[in-house]
Amino acid sequence: MIRIAIAGAAGKMGMRVIALAHASDRYDLVAALEATGSPEVGRDAGERAGIGRLHLPIQDRTQTEFDVLIDFTSPAGTMHWLDYCLVARRPIVIGTTGHSETELAAIRQAAGTIPIVKSSNMSVGINLLLRLVGQIAGALGEEYDIEIVETHHRFKRDAPSGTALAFVEAIVEATGRSRHHDVIHGRHGILEERPRRQIGVHALRVGDTIGEHEVHFGNLGETIVLRHSAHTRDTFARGALRAAEWVVRQPPGLYSMQDVLGMSP
């Protein structure tokens, strides 16, 4: 069994990881973690996740040995638990999004010491679309406009979503566009005619929407739309557990869900 520590144990994603890991005979939950000062510290992780008492208290640190840590916290939380894993020489699966360039550089540096899976989206379907989006954008060429629309719940703090930015990256790599000059985030006012190479990115925050992404390709004669809708957070929790099971067997390095799923070029 793989001994798992979960950071962000009282969050929406952390609770689902706890529930699914507990329901499986492949994982052993050994640590449920939250930030120092969190009112959740001291509560039973199972009760917090709605699956009954596990006799596993939520803590802000642990001395328990673990094989891998799954992080669904905040950018600052990732940095804290990344340092924790560096000291313990244990791999980490990062599902948190919204990291700054400085934080991303720290993650890349840490990957020289420990294996890290970092993904903006742990869904199998989304990772398949990431491959397809690049292929389609490269095949269609500049005659097709590209627009990305993402919708999430009102509580999501970073915008656009990490997944939308991953779509941008896939398109940029496939077409030679510039992420600095060809990407626009939203529109308002009276604008000039849409530039041919432009990639439009739009973020919606509505109610309790778990996650929806659309990539539109259109010219003056037709429109192609790729759409993914997540119906439950279990989609991402299962992906995170799959990544944890995979990364414990890897050497130091920075990996993505494409690597975990065997879809890397």
Q: How many domains does the chain have?
A: 2
Q: How far apart are CA 67 and CA 75, in angstroms?
A: 22
Q: What is the mean pLDDT of residues 229-249?
A: 94
AA letter at 117:
V
Asked if 108 and 16 sit in the same domain, the reply is yes
What's the CA angle centered on 233, arms 5 and 224, to 5 degrees? 130
Q: What is the pTM of this model?
A: 0.82
Q: Is 55 a catalytic residue?
A: no
Asked if 137 and 81 sit in the same domain, the reply is no
Q: Does residue 225 lie in a domain region?
A: yes
Q: Check whether 265 has a pLDDT greater than 80.
A: no
Range of the domain at 52: 2-118+233-260
Q: Tens digits of per-residue pLDDT, 35-87?
A: 999 999 999 999 999 999 999 999 999 999 999 999 999 999 999 999 999 99
What's the residue count for the chain?
Answer: 265
Asked if 162 and 247 sit in the same domain, the reply is no
Asked if 176 and 225 sit in the same domain, the reply is yes
Q: Does residue 96 lie in a domain region?
A: yes
Asked if 164 and 71 sit in the same domain, the reply is no
Q: How far apart are CA 148 and CA 184, in angstroms?
A: 10
The percentage of the chain sitting over the pLDDT mark of 90, rounded to a whole number, equals 89
Asked if 152 and 201 sit in the same domain, the reply is yes
Domain containing residue 141: CATH number: 3.30.360.10
* Identified catalytic residue from 12, 22, 80, 156: 156
Q: Does residue 265 lie in a domain region?
A: no
DSSP state of 57: B
Q: How far is the CA of 252 from the CAs of 21, 77, 93, 112, in angstroms? A: 24, 21, 13, 6
Q: Where are the alpha helices (DSSP H) in the chain?
A: 12-23, 45-49, 75-88, 101-110, 124-140, 162-175, 234-247, 257-260
Asked if 206 and 241 sit in the same domain, the reply is no
- Sign of dihedral through CA atoms 231, 236, 241, 243? positive
Domain containing residue 45: CATH number: 3.40.50.720
Q: Under a CB-based contact definition with an 8 Å cutoff, are residues 58 and 43 in contact?
A: yes
Q: Is 152 a catalytic residue?
A: yes
* Identified catalytic residue from 152, 153, 185, 188: 152
SS (H, E, C) 176-205: CCCCCCCEEECCCCCCCCCCCCCEEEEEEE
Asked if 209 and 161 sit in the same domain, the reply is yes
DSSP state of 65: -
Q: Tens digits of per-residue pLDDT, 116-128?
A: 999 988 998 998 9
